[in-house]
Amino acid sequence: MSGLLASVTGPSEAETALAGGCDIIDMKNPEAGALGALPVQTIEKTVRLVAGRKPVSATIGDLPLSPQPVCDAVVRTAETGVDYIKIGFFQGDKGATLDALQPLTRRIRMVAVLFADQDPDFSIIRQAACVGFAGVMLDTADKTGGSLRRHLGPESLRAFIEDARSHDLLTGLAGSLSLSDVDPLLMLNPDYLGFRGALCEAHKRTAGLDPDRIATLRLAFEDHLSLRASQATANAGAHAATRSSSKSAAAWTRDGKAT
């Protein structure tokens, strides 16, 4: 089952997201870029408030890939007690940064974030798995340039998820997602879908969370999963009926009542 990830800016929004049934609390500063970092004190307070009720992730900021600054940011963020740390694969030295992060993956769970609007290199999926990352996700860097599905079609998104799964990595899809993206993206079975703007007042990602919008998205998830469960049950029943009919026909033939 896919989870609903809510990006929040602090303890108050985290409580709102928890009350709305969100599955992952993601710490991010939407006013500081695609993966804007929050102050460590804010992250620490939020981790204490969540108190293990749901996983908590946090971003390290829109940093170019350079081994020392990225490693320093990862260690600093890990000390807050978050469960996952998200690292944006912006421009820079990808290979050297991954090599530098490898020793840290033994004690820190990291998620590599690729950007659909920046010609993402899917070979990073294998590289991230090899150095011990816990997951990968797709997002968008430019929040004014349209949603994830504007930049990548369903086949590319499916290939991303299947490749990540083949390397035992968690998968996430995000990037200016809206209510209309829920059904088509849940059909791809990611581990989670990430939202910010769609959860906020007036769909503005720098505004506060709106409980009604969270409830609407939560319901969309539940409706989709209920429909798929019903379809699976119906398909299983049809399959069982077909098998029963086939067995009856075979028995009829064996008994010599038909040839």
Mean pLDDT by 10 residues, the chain (259 residues): 96 98 98 97 98 98 97 98 98 97 98 97 97 98 94 98 98 97 97 97 94 97 86 66 57 52
How high is the pLDDT of residue 157? 98
How high is the pLDDT of residue 258? 46
Cβ contact 170:129 at 8 Å: no
How high is the pLDDT of residue 1? 81
**In this structure, which amino acid lies at residue 171?**
T
The upper half-sphere exposure of residue 234, i.e. CA atoms within 13 Å in the direction of its Cβ, equals 6
Domains and CATH numbers, the chain: 3-231 (3.20.20.70)
CB atoms < 10 A from the CB of 241, how many? 10
DSSP-assigned letter for residue 104: G
How high is the pLDDT of residue 66? 98
Catalytic center residues: 28, 86
How high is the pLDDT of residue 194? 98
What is this structure's pTM?
A: 0.88
Backbone angles phi, psi at 83, to 5 degrees: -85, -35
Among 127, 134, 121, residue whose Cα is nearest residue 91: 121
Among 168, 205, 176, residue whose Cα is nearest residue 193: 176
How high is the pLDDT of residue 247? 58
Cβ contact 217:179 at 8 Å: yes
Give whole-number Cα distances, 3 to 6, 26, 144, 217, in Å: 10, 12, 25, 11
